Amino acid sequence: MKKLLLKIMFSGCITLASVSCYANGIDALDKFLQNQNSTVSASFSQTVFGVKKNRVTSGVMEISRPNKFRWEYVTDGQLIVSDGKTIYIYDKPLKQVTEKKLTQSLGKSPALLLAGGTNIKHDYTVTNLAQSDGLEWVNLTPKNSSDNNGFKQVQIGFNSGANSLAQMKFIDNFDNKSTIVFTNVKSGINIPASDFTFSPPAGVDVIKN
C-alpha cells in the first residue's frame, strides 16, 4: 500500500461530472498558476480507495515554482522532494531512497502540475466541470495516451471565488482511485530553499533510476 501511496504522486485522476459550459474551473487554474502564487504550502489528507478498505494518510506539502516541491506523508514516514532537477523518494521505515531525474515525461505527473512543471494546456486537454460541493472543478486528460505517466485523468477543485486549491482527484491506468483534500493553504509565502534540497541519510540504500 505504501508503494501505491507514492505512486499516486506520479499517476492520477477520476471522472465525476459531465463537461459543462462553466468557465470558472479553468479561470481558477490559470490564476492559481500565476507568478504571484509562485510558492504554496498546505496540509493534506489523502484517501486511496480500496476494494474492501480505504487507506487514509496525511501530511504537508510545499511548492516553489518552477518544479520544486516537498511532499511529506507524516503518518507513513514517506518523503518526496524535488530540487528542480532530481526527485528523491525517501521511505523512512525501509531506509531506502529512490532518485529519479526530472525528465519531460515525469514532469507531466500530477505532483508537478501544481509546481508548474509542465505547460498544462500543451500536454493536456483541459475542460471545465460543473460546480460541485462548493468547488470549481477543472478536468485534465493527457493528450498523448502513450505518454501519460501512468494516469488517465486528474481533476482539480478550487474554492469558489477564492481560486485557492481545495482538492485533487485521480484514477490511474489500473483504475486505482484517490482523493487529496488540502487545508490551511497559503500562497506567496517565504519557504526556505533548504526545504527543496535532500541528502540521503547515512546508512540508507540509494537506488538511482
| Contact (CB, 8 A) for 115 and 69 | yes
| Contact (CB, 8 A) for 51 and 201 | no
Distance CA(164)–CA(157), nearest Å, equals 9
Distance CA(90)–CA(93), nearest Å, equals 9
Give me the pLDDT at residue 172, please.
82
| Contact (CB, 8 A) for 68 and 82 | yes
- Can you list the domains of the chain with their CATH numbers? 2-189 (2.50.20.10)
Number of helices (H), then strands (E), in the chain: 4, 12
Give me the pLDDT at residue 189, please.
92
Give me the pLDDT at residue 40, please.
92
Q: What is the pTM of this model?
A: 0.81
In sign, the C-alpha dihedral spanning 115, 165, 146, 122 is negative
Q: Which three cell numbers stand for residue 120?
A: 498544462
Please name the amino acid found at residue 67: N
Phi, psi of 152 (to 5 degrees): -90, -45
Q: For residue 43, what are the β-bridge partners?
A: 60, 183
Q: Which three cell numbers stand for residue 196?
A: 527543496
Q: What is the pLDDT along the chain (209 residues), one digit of tens a residue?
A: 555 455 545 443 333 333 333 448 888 888 888 765 689 999 999 999 988 899 999 999 999 988 899 999 998 899 999 999 999 999 999 999 999 888 755 655 666 778 875 677 877 889 999 888 889 999 988 887 666 567 788 899 999 866 689 999 987 888 888 999 999 999 889 999 999 999 999 999 999 97
Give me the pLDDT at residue 146, please.
65
- C-alpha dihedral over 191, 168, 59, 118, to 10 degrees? -40
Distance CA(39)–CA(115), nearest Å, equals 9
Burial class (CB in 10 A: 0-12, 13-18, 19+), 131: middle
